[in-house]
Amino acid sequence: MSVAPTVSTERLTRRFGDLVAVDDVNLRVAPGQFFGFLGPNGAGKSTTIKMLTGLLAPSSGKIEILGLDLDAHPVEVKRQIGVVPEGMALFGRLTGAEFLSFAGRMYGLDRETAAKRAAELLEFMQLADQPKKLVTDYSHGMQKKLAMAAAVIHGPKVLFLDEPFEGVDAIAAGTLKSLLQRMIARGATIFLTSHVLEIVERLCSHVAIIHQGRLVAQGSLEELRAGVQAQGPAALPGDGVPPGERLTLEEIFLHIVGGTRRNEQELSWLG
């Protein structure tokens, strides 16, 4: 018996004028999965995640989160999810504690719980040592950590993260990964987009790849690897994979998405 997906889309499409940014995408994310959503720049990753979190209306298609139709039950869905969008969604002129307490209350926590969790999250994220600092004065990495803390303060069942590791140093990335692994251990589902394929490979159990708005691959890493290898060595990038070695996610990604080599004569003035 198949388990009902936590996140599912049906023929999800988004057009911007003549441009079809997301084209007929059918996604399935099962409960408890750490799901990586990959694609080259401009492939439609952020557009998809924005639609999944209610930040952008689809042109057509259906989105269900935790069995609820997002269009029909936006508030019920939002209550159960956490979001770190591309722009991080922070209020710059609050302190970290004020922002987290505010976020908690907006997600329905009472004042005491919101304040207590805010303090704990600041401590966990190593943001507690400058309590008077305004969010606008935080470094990029600190802002990422704070955005993540705000997304999890209400204990969401599903977490949507748009490029959570972009511009984050190794220490901050470690803290974020530790938090995400705790969430997964707790049974939450995580849906993330990232350009850093090594991180996705290490964290995610399942992956989907979008290219030019269309979903071109979806499944567990093993399934994707098997699919590429089944096409034979000629299909692999470079000289193929030495015997006994597994394909990396980067190799799988490059195989599926492809790439073009630039002419060496281009931009010759760069030296």
> With CB under 8 A as the contact rule, which of the stretches 4-12, 108-116, 224-232, 252-260 interacts with other proteins?
108-116
- Map residues 30-59 to x or -, x wherever contact with other proteins holds by CB under 8 A: -----------------------xxxxx--
94 binds other proteins (CB under 8 A): yes
- Distance separating alpha carbons of residues 192 and 159, to the nearest angstrom: 8
Q: Shortest CA distance to 14 belongs to which of 55, 64, 66?
A: 55
Establish if 19 lies at the interface with other proteins (CB under 8 A). no
Kindly state whether residue 101 participates in binding other proteins, applying the rule CB under 8 A: yes
If you write DSSP's letter for every residue of 91-105 in order, what string do you get?
-TTSBHHHHHHHHHH
Cα distance between residue 21 and residue 213, in whole Å? 5
Is the CB of residue 210 less than 8 Å from the CB of residue 38?
yes
* CB of 161 or CB of 199, closer to other proteins: 161
CB atoms within 10 A of CB 102: 16
**Token pair recorded at residue 153:** 């303060």
| Residue with smaller CB distance to other proteins, 153 or 197 | 153
- Which of 30, 68, 89, 241 lies at the binding interface for other proteins (CB under 8 A)? 89
| Comparison of 112 and 239: residue with beta carbon closer to other proteins | 112
Instruction: Pick one of 93, 140, 182, 246: the residue that binds other proteins (CB under 8 A).
Output: 93
Instruction: Say whether residue 18 binds other proteins (CB under 8 A).
Output: no
Long-range contacts at 233-239 (CB < 8 A, ≥ 24 apart): none
- Determine the interface stretch with other proteins among 34-42, 100-108, 180-188, 248-256 (rule: CB under 8 A): 100-108
Main-chain phi, psi angles of 66, to 5 degrees: 50, 35
DSSP labels, 171-213: HHHHHHHHHHHHHHHTT-EEEEE-S-HHHHHHH-SEEEEEETT
195 binds other proteins per the rule CB under 8 A = no
Single out the segment in contact with other proteins by CB under 8 A; choices: 28-36, 72-80, 166-174, 175-183: 72-80
Please state, in angstroms and rounded to a whole number, the distance separating the CA atoms of residues 140 and 176. 13
Tell me which of 20, 30, 68, 119 binds other proteins, using CB under 8 A. 119
Amino acid at 26: N
Residue number, 63 or 209, with CB nearest to other proteins: 63
Q: Where do contacts with other proteins occur on this chain (CB under 8 A)?
A: 53-57, 74-79, 83, 85, 87-94, 97-98, 101-103, 105-112, 114-116, 118-119, 128-134, 136-137, 150
